[in-house]
Chains A and B, each alone.
Chain A
Amino acid sequence: MPKKFTFTKAFWLLWRLKLTLVAGLLLLAIAVGAVLAPYLAPFDPLATDITARLKPPSWMEGGRPDYVLGTDQVGRDILSRIIFGARVSLLVGALAVLLAAAIGIPLGLAAGYSGRVTDTVISTLVNIMLTFPFVLLALAVIAVLGPSLTNMIIVLGITNWPLYTRVVRADVLRLKELEFVMAARALGMGHARLILRQIFPNLVSAVVVISSVLVARMIILESFLSFLGLGVQPPTPSWGGMLGEGKDYMLLRWWLATFPGLAIFVTTLLINLLGDGLRDWLDPSMKV
């Protein structure tokens, strides 16, 4: 098909560029909001008010103007809890991805670079890990270790590294046959230096793209674990935990479950949009 210029296409490309920028800025705003939560939140997220239980959002009949998104079953302000809940989600997302990268990237480099037995062993390990229904594996490990913030980060990091390994391995296999790597080797560069200085810089874009996919996935998984009561423990506000508590009231009080879920959805959507934009920008060949 000939690549012809059309206005719709040009508009679409510009729109995507703008969308990436806007997504990035909004994410930054969420992160800043999480850091400044004590100053931004109108109420203490843990303060209960028995006289104002299950108040609907302020625009509905019976709502109070100071509780913008309503209150939960013990009269805590939902908006304040959502603002504080961002802390848990972003923290778990970021740290779990760092852990997964710290395990997955070195293994991928080792498998791709040294080949042979190392490669076979690591690739088999990746295959086994990818076979597990990792939601279930994460649940089972949490059940043994006990639910806590640290354990959740560890479990999510340990169950999600294979994606890094698989992509890094494939890239290294391709890169190590290229002329510039061969040349560096012919000039007598050592293995460690070769990997760090010649190969690794070429992996950065792939790593960035995978990380954005994984952060979004981790946030959803974290909220699912908290939703089941196996993640962050109450009363610490977390989006998943609020959703889990709100589920019990969903038949009559829809706002309890709706807003925290919306927060998860918007955050992961922004991360995915940013990731898609970064992928187009960093590595057009990975475009779907």
Chain B
Amino acid sequence: MKRYLAHQCIQLLVVCLGISVITFLLLHLKGDPVVLLLPLDAGKEEMERFRHLMGFDQPVLVQYLRFLTGALRGDFGDSLYMKKSAFALVVERMPATLLLTFAGLIISLVIAIPLGIVSAMKRYSVVDNLCTMFAVGGQAMPIFWLGIMLIIVFSVKFHWLPASGFGTWTHLVLPATTLGLFLAPLTMRLVRSGMLEVLSQDYVRTARAKGVSEPDVLLKHAFRNVAIPVVTVIGLQFGQLLGGAIVTETVYAWPGVATFTVTAIRNSDFPVVQASVFLLALCIVVVNLMVDLIVGMIDPRIRLEG
């Protein structure tokens, strides 16, 4: 376990360093960061003064180290539009994004687990075929279009739910459903294929032979063993989930990190862009590590192999 932990931690450090390098390089993609940070009509003198002030006239390595030490203290500079720390602005919007992400995750599980179990139980039946169609269709669905269609149907036509905004639980329903529908096909496929594999195992046959009732066989014997790989994959897909949340936020004007960042991108507010890319990537790394550790604790096989 110790070696496993150490290995994970070293990997985490390397990945974090990589993230910081890429975030840092964003500003240097076009060569001169000063051009990006100052308004277009800035004079030559002003640019030179700014370059010196921000340390952009120093060697790249020195600049990177300054960026890194800043990032570690949560200092990405001030937002160019709101005179406030970019990091603080992004962190303020984090709870809304996390709320949406977890609500979406729960909805996807509520849809995917029963469908996956049923379609594995009744393989090649009408229900299974319908579920497969749902999965294939869902994976091709552009999530932002799905969001707009849900708004047109449920907000515009039936007036059941608000189209955008934030505050009460009714505001959460459409965005979370959109995100849930986006994630459900993948989860459903995982549950289905996992169940199919487990159901053909000897211990399931033994349980059936002993006369264990079918619901107990399915839920207690089979599904429990499917749950571990499903949790792992969902954890490792957290990046994709967050990506989906980013898209969903922009459709529903959800006041989270993504909407804020897209606005920042439109305004060329680069400190905010850097802070949010760094923070979101860090979130994904931490979640991945937690999933690794939890699964390692539950399932000794993985720990020993690693």
Chain A residues proximal to chain B, CB less than 8 Å: 1, 6, 8-9, 12, 124-125, 127-128, 130-137, 139-145, 216, 220, 223-224, 227-230, 243, 246-247, 250-252, 254, 257-258, 261-262, 264-265, 268-269, 271-273, 276, 288
Q: A140-B265, A258-B152 are in contact. List 8 more A-B contacts (CB 8 A).
A: A8-B125, A130-B239, A133-B281, A135-B243, A136-B243, A136-B280, A228-B262, A288-B193
Assess whether B293 is interfacial by the CB under 8 Å rule: no
Say whether B125 contacts A140, CB under 8 Å: no
Say whether A128 contacts B19, CB under 8 Å: yes
Say whether A133 contacts B124, CB under 8 Å: no
- The contact of A216 among B15, B30, B140, by CB within 8 Å, is B140
Say whether A145 contacts B29, CB under 8 Å: yes
- Closest chain-B Cβ to A37's Cβ sits at a distance in Å of 21
Q: What are 7 pairs between A and B in contact, CB < 8 Å? A: A9-B124, A127-B15, A136-B280, A144-B29, A224-B144, A262-B145, A276-B136
- The contact of B14 among A124, A136, A250, by CB within 8 Å, is A124
- Closest chain-A Cβ to B163's Cβ sits at a distance in Å of 7
Residues of chain B in range 2-54 having any CB-CB distance to chain A below 8 Å: 11, 14-15, 18-19, 22, 26-27, 29-30, 36
- The contact of B243 among A133, A140, A254, by CB within 8 Å, is A133
Q: In the complex, what residue of chain A is closest to B246 when comparing beta carbons?
A: A135
- Closest chain-A Cβ to B252's Cβ sits at a distance in Å of 11
Say whether A131 contacts B285, CB under 8 Å: yes
Q: In the complex, what residue of chain B is closest to A125 when comparing beta carbons?
A: B18
A132 to B200, CA, bound (A): 38
Complex contacts, A264 vs chain B, CB 8 Å = 142, 145
Say whether A243 contacts B280, CB under 8 Å: no
- A139 with B243: in contact, given A127-B11, A254-B156 (CB under 8 Å)? no
Say whether B142 contacts A261, CB under 8 Å: yes
- Closest chain-A Cβ to B237's Cβ sits at a distance in Å of 11
- A132 with B144: in contact, given A8-B125, A144-B26, A272-B136 (CB under 8 Å)? no
- The contact of A228 among B11, B239, B250, by CB within 8 Å, is B250
- The contact of B18 among A124, A252, A271, by CB within 8 Å, is A124
Q: In the complex, what residue of chain A is closest to B258 when comparing beta carbons?
A: A136
Say whether A243 contacts B144, CB under 8 Å: yes
- The contact of A134 among B189, B243, B258, by CB within 8 Å, is B243
- A131 with B243: in contact, given A8-B125, A261-B142 (CB under 8 Å)? no
Q: Which 6 A-B residue pairs are closest in the complex by CB-CB distance?
A: A261-B145, A128-B18, A269-B140, A143-B265, A268-B140, A135-B243
Say whether A272 contacts B139, CB under 8 Å: yes
Say whether A128 contacts B15, CB under 8 Å: yes
Say whether A133 contacts B15, CB under 8 Å: no
Scoring A6, A144, A227, A247 by chain B CB atoms within 10 A of each residue's CB, the highest score goes to: A144
Say whether B136 contacts A132, CB under 8 Å: no
Say whether A137 contacts B247, CB under 8 Å: no
Complex contacts, B137 vs chain A, CB 8 Å = 269
Complex contacts, A250 vs chain B, CB 8 Å = 148, 151-152, 156
Say whether A143 contacts B142, CB under 8 Å: no
Say whether B140 contacts A265, CB under 8 Å: yes
Say whether B30 contacts A145, CB under 8 Å: yes
Assess whether B170 is interfacial by the CB under 8 Å rule: no
- Closest chain-A Cβ to B184's Cβ sits at a distance in Å of 15
Assess whether B290 is interfacial by the CB under 8 Å rule: no
Complex contacts, A223 vs chain B, CB 8 Å = 142
A216 to B250, CA, bound (A): 21
Say whether B142 contacts A265, CB under 8 Å: yes
Residues of chain B in range 131-153 having any CB-CB distance to chain A below 8 Å: 136-137, 139-142, 144-145, 148-149, 151-152
Complex contacts, A271 vs chain B, CB 8 Å = 140
Say whether B15 contacts A124, CB under 8 Å: yes
Complex contacts, B151 vs chain A, CB 8 Å = 250
Assess whether B161 is interfacial by the CB under 8 Å rule: no
Q: In the complex, what residue of chain B is closest to A264 when comparing beta carbons?
A: B142
Complex contacts, B36 vs chain A, CB 8 Å = 144
A131 to B277, CA, bound (A): 11
Scoring A1, A132, A264 by chain B CB atoms within 10 A of each residue's CB, the highest score goes to: A132
Assess whether B288 is interfacial by the CB under 8 Å rule: yes
Assess whether B178 is interfacial by the CB under 8 Å rule: no
Complex contacts, A128 vs chain B, CB 8 Å = 14-15, 18-19, 22
Q: In the complex, what residue of chain B is closest to A19 when comparing beta carbons?
A: B136
- Closest chain-B Cβ to A156's Cβ sits at a distance in Å of 14
Complex contacts, B247 vs chain A, CB 8 Å = 135, 224
Complex contacts, B141 vs chain A, CB 8 Å = 265, 268
Say whether B149 contacts A136, CB under 8 Å: no
Q: In the complex, what residue of chain A is closest to B157 when comparing beta carbons?
A: A254
A130 to B247, CA, bound (A): 18
Say whether B142 contacts A131, CB under 8 Å: no
- A288 with B142: in contact, given A124-B15, A132-B239, A133-B242 (CB under 8 Å)? no
Binary per-residue interface labels of chain B (272-295) against chain A in the complex, 1 for a CB within 8 Å, 0 otherwise = 011011001100110010000000
A143 to B149, CA, bound (A): 28
Say whether B27 contacts A144, CB under 8 Å: yes
Residues of chain B in range 241-278 having any CB-CB distance to chain A below 8 Å: 242-243, 246-247, 250-251, 258, 261-262, 265-266, 268, 270, 273-274, 276-277
